[in-house]
Amino acid sequence: MRFVLLVLLLPSLAQAYVENITHGYVNCMACHISQSGGGVLTDYGRSLSKELMSTWQGWNGIEKPLFGAIENSEKIKIGGNIRSIQTHLKNDSFKQGQAFIMQQNIEVAAQYMQLWVVATVGLQGGPSSSATKNDIISERHYISYDVNEESRLRVGKFRRNFGLNDPAHTRLTKSPLGFGSNSETYQLEFSKFSEQDEIFIATDLGDINDPKSKESEKSFLINYARYIGSDSKVGVNYLYGETGNNRRNLFGLYSVWKLPFEMFFKGEADYQQLLSADETIHLMASTLTLGYQGFKGFTPYLVSDFVQRDLSKHNTRTSLLGIGTQWLPLAHIEFQVEIQKRIDRTPRRIASNIAWMMFHFYL
């Protein structure tokens, strides 16, 4: 139980800053090789990490891999992440605090003509009690083909592009819906981009290592987003999923908006209908974040999350209010701190005070 709670607290394992939409980067491809964001950076993305996102710019070439010790070539890009976290959780039942490494991997992307081959390899992170800790894993490995300037086709293992590609996968619109940590799956994906909008259509092949598993979900996903002006975005998406035990229809709306006074809003609301042989369960989840970008590299924010796992039962609700800040002092380095007040009604009301502090170094 303690481990489960701890895992629920963990923040990002991906690397994508959707609020950069408010700076005119309405899709992810300027900065990331992955069309849905996260992972290995393009040279432009590295430059932006220094020029736009960091408090101090440091020296010439600091944004290059390993502070400039390694050069990306035109055809090969190097990435990788180390993330460590200190967590704290306190409620009536127990008090817990731990520090551990969440993620340690390297990622390489190689280009051949219109083809990108991308793969990560690393060690499974997590607290010392985790059975799989230090197992060798590859979170992502895929081949992406540039069909033309506007369209891409991708096959392999990567994260399903549903809702906001927010790094905080512990948000209540992520984990309860199956998009939490290590939820990358084998997919075939087509994406198309224009100056006004973008669309992703993907089919999930399920657990190819254990195709007979009743837990493995095969799914179809469509995600359409419209750009509002040059600095905001509204999206709608639908996923149909099927396992050996149930089927689900998942609908979602999401948005990132630039607001006056250097502020931004990002939010997502999802509704899921889960159908099994003997019942249908309706779930709703939302996450709302209001952030301030007035200090370069330093982004304080307020966050509100909500999920009701069964709309017919009040005692399946979880809600939280949080305040946090993200700070990127120099290229390659990120700190994030968040304090939350979380109320779980499952079925007993449990009020928890939660805090975590994350350190992130990207190669």
Partner 1 sequence: MKKLISIILFYSLTSNANVFVVDQGDIEFKAKGKPALISINGKSDHLTGKLTETDNGFSGEFDLDLNHLSTGIELRDEHLKKTYLKVDQYPQAKLQFSNLKVLKNQEIDFVASLTLHGQTKEINGNAIVSDKNTINAEFIINLADFSIDIPSFKGITVAKDVKIEVNASLKEMIK
- Binding interface with partner 1 (CB under 8 A): 23-27, 29-30, 42-44, 47-48, 51-52, 149, 193-195, 230-231
Q: Taking the complex as a whole, how short is the minimal distance between the CB of residue 80 and partner 1, in angstroms?
A: 20
Helix, coil or strand: residue 351: strand
Cβ nearer to partner 1, comparing 33 with 303: 33
User: Residue with structure tokens 């089919």?
Assistant: 203
Q: Taking the complex as a whole, how short is the minimal distance between the CB of residue 357 and partner 1, in angstroms?
A: 29
Cβ nearer to partner 1, comparing 5 with 41: 41
CB neighbour list of residue 304: distance below 8 Å, 6 or more residues apart: 286, 287, 288, 289, 319, 320, 321, 322
**CA dihedral for 258, 259, 265, 269, sign (positive or negative):** negative
Cβ nearer to partner 1, comparing 152 with 174: 152
Length of the chain: 363
Cβ nearer to partner 1, comparing 42 with 304: 42
The whole-angstrom separation of Cα 184 and Cα 355 is 26
The whole-angstrom separation of Cα 248 and Cα 192 is 26
Cβ nearer to partner 1, comparing 74 with 278: 74
Q: Taking the complex as a whole, how short is the minimal distance between the CB of residue 45 and partner 1, in angstroms?
A: 9
Q: Taking the complex as a whole, how short is the minimal distance between the CB of residue 44 and partner 1, in angstroms?
A: 4
Residues 329 and 297 sit within 8 Å (Cβ to Cβ): yes
Cβ nearer to partner 1, comparing 21 with 303: 21
Q: Taking the complex as a whole, how short is the minimal distance between the CB of residue 43 and partner 1, in angstroms?
A: 4
Q: Taking the complex as a whole, how short is the minimal distance between the CB of residue 19 and partner 1, in angstroms?
A: 14
Cα three-residue angle 99-105-110, rounded to 5 degrees: 160
Cβ nearer to partner 1, comparing 48 with 358: 48
Please give the C-alpha separations between residue 158 and each of 8, 37, 208, in angstroms, as whole numbers. Answer: 21, 11, 13
Q: Taking the complex as a whole, how short is the minimal distance between the CB of residue 220 and partner 1, in angstroms?
A: 26
Residues 184 and 169 sit within 8 Å (Cβ to Cβ): no
Cβ nearer to partner 1, comparing 42 with 91: 42
Encode 52-70: b = buried (16+ Cβ within 10 Å), e = exposed: ebbeeebeeebbbbebeee
Helix (H) or strand (E) holding 46: helix 43-51
Counting Cα atoms < 13 Å in the Cβ hemisphere of 309 gives 14
Helix, coil or strand: residue 33: coil
The whole-angstrom separation of Cα 64 and Cα 46 is 7
Report which DSSP code applies to 166. Answer: -
Please choose, from the candidates 298, 302, 307, 363, the residue with its C-alpha nearest in 3D space to the C-alpha of residue 335: 298
Cα three-residue angle 206-207-208, rounded to 5 degrees: 100
Cβ nearer to partner 1, comparing 54 with 124: 54
Q: Taking the complex as a whole, how short is the minimal distance between the CB of residue 52 and partner 1, in angstroms?
A: 5
Helices (H) and strands (E) in the chain, counts: 2, 17
Q: Taking the complex as a whole, how short is the minimal distance between the CB of residue 114 and partner 1, in angstroms?
A: 11
Cβ nearer to partner 1, comparing 25 with 362: 25
Q: Taking the complex as a whole, how short is the minimal distance between the CB of residue 308 and partner 1, in angstroms?
A: 37
